[in-house]
Structure 1
Amino acid sequence: MTGSTPAPFTADDYRARMRRAAQAAADAGLAALLVAPGPDLVWLTGYAPTAITERLTALVLAPGHDPVLVVPALEAPDAAKAPGAPALTLRDWTDGKDPYALTAELLRADGRVGVSDNAWALHLLNLQRALPGTSYAALTDALPMLRAVKDAAELELMAAAGAAADATFEDIRTLPFAGRRESDVAADLARLLLEHGHEQVDFTVVGSGPNGADPHHEAGDRVIERGDMVVLDFGGLRHGYGSDTSRTVHVGEPTEEERRVHDVVRAAQEAGFAAVRPGAACQDVDRAARAVIADAGYGEYFIHRTGHGIGVTTHEPPYMIEGEERELVPGMCFSVEPGVYLPGRFGVRIEDIVTVTEDGGRRLNDTTREMVIVD
């Protein structure tokens, strides 16, 4: 993810996000936020350095203060072109100078600072030396919902990414599977995602036959055979926002057991989706999907959470998992993806991205959830 986000956001949009983040920091008892290059910086400013190096780049958001982006001088011209640049102050530094002393001036000497998860240890340790009285908390722990609730423009981009992933599935199902390697089908998925507007492909899982029982199987050299169940899980970023969908197809006619397992997973996915509504707990979605699979006798073979959040990254909070009591809020986007994995035999997973509406949920993936037969 390099360069500025192509999404249609203005400097005012980024200014509002930075203000909201600073207020959220204050509400969480944080003296400031320190945001390194990565998805948080892109979401807050639209800026993604073309090369992430050992040179410190950091956005400092402190309640009651204007946002400041500390940036190496050689990268300052690019930072100044970011769509959110008019909403912040740039402070550049040259090689041979101490960027940590510069950054320390923007932080309270005894404050607790929220730090983006992907900040380099090198930078954090040097800041601790410059400000030994400070303490730090990961943003996922301190502000897990910072990016979770999408506005109308973000939801449009999420829907467009979902539609592009759907178009990819409609195309892939028309191509031959039998006699080809998993890696060949994965390459087709990547190509199709790009053809349908994605600028970044994050994953293309193709798990055929017994490999389908591994939820995160890396597509390999196994040749797909007639009679195989094939789990397809693919997605990436389109205009800066994520897609992620799973469908399980069958090469030729399935057995009665394969149909039964697929039907169970389809019913579980429907139950999970039906549980989506404002005020419900995240764990309610997991419980609803898991109950269907457990009642069918396959509970021990559903071995992962029911869902994860998605936005400017393809995996982020909130998580649909037992013990997560956080309430669903309109604008949240996350996957609903139950599965059954029979070791050494086959697996089935069906996944849609769902957004919470004012009175329930809306799917952002609309391809059929029925058993699809491929050649």
Structure 2
Amino acid sequence: MTTLEDVIPLIERGYYEEALEKIERLNDPLDKVDAMTQMAITIHSKGGPADWIPTIIDDATYIVQKIDYPTDRAMGYSMIASALGRMEYHDEAADFFNSAIEELDRVKDPTEKGIALAFLAYHMALSGYSEQALEVFDLAFDSIINAEMAYRLKVDGLLKIAELLEKAGDSVPSSRALKFYEMSFDIFDKLNVNQQAAIVEKKIELTKTVYDVGLPQIRRALLEGKNHYALAILDRNYSGVVRLIGALEIALWMKRVNNPEYLDVVDKAFENCQNPHFTEANVQQIARLLTALGSLKRALAFAIKIKDIRKKSEAMKAIAIELALNEDVDSAEKLAINIPDPQVREEALIEIETLREGKL
């Protein structure tokens, strides 16, 4: 029996005609729609017979229209909408998302409706509609939490929503992933699914650390410990100062997971950044990252370039505190005395003195 797992590798390798033959043999209509939409996206992104795309979408739509159950039709429309959105056919995507919502209005069972809403929200997230996706995830959560049903069924429904939230976070850049992960963690944590909560918590930490260049494939590589592969992806997708910042973010993650190679990554990041043109925001970000990395001389060189007095002072204070924590209290005090903002200067000196007394 042909399965979806038999089809996807063919699509990924560009064997589209052979994939279409196998799609015909799939028994589940939603598997057919899933495979067809993935084929359309792959052709659009990697090159291929672009004139096939309208036919593929039309055929997928026909399959969905023939499905008996409104929940399954909604899921099918969600997949088509997601594919269209990712191919930047935004008006058409919106129409299919609306069709999915109309189908779900017919669903009475709150668990079934809640899970289908979460599936719809996940596909909205894939298409770049993050804010709308979060709103629909909230509707999915409310549908289940407010339903009168057995506790076990309610927990099962909420766990499925948490899984789809996590999956949404895995599929989008860091700037959009954080809210999905935080909602997912909250559900897993409250339901005492401790192992999964810990996994999502680690993903949250990674997302916050590798934020500016947090492509899903970079974060995935780092979670798997494939640091050099993550750096290679960074090099392919970014250049100049953004690549420098990204390398420092990756180095900081490596430091946090106790990989000593992070020091080499920092050095190479600066070697590879030729003739950089820094904005004020760049300087502030690099100073912060270098301080967290413990590269304090470099951090100070950037901190003193910050034009905003308050932010320069905060950057210098952070470096001074780090020096004090590293038991170089005298150097910390000398730096703190030169902080331009008097309030920040006083705060730094007090904290340094507290640290000095703690070491006596």
Q: TM-score, normalised by structure 2?
A: 0.23
Query: Counting helix residues as a fraction of each chain, which structure ranks higher?
Result: 2
Greater strand percent: which structure?
Answer: 1
The structure that has the greater radius of gyration is 2
Length-normalised TM-score, structure 1: 0.22
Tell me which of the two structures has the higher relative contact order, counting C-alpha pairs closer than 8 angstroms and 6 or more residues apart: 1
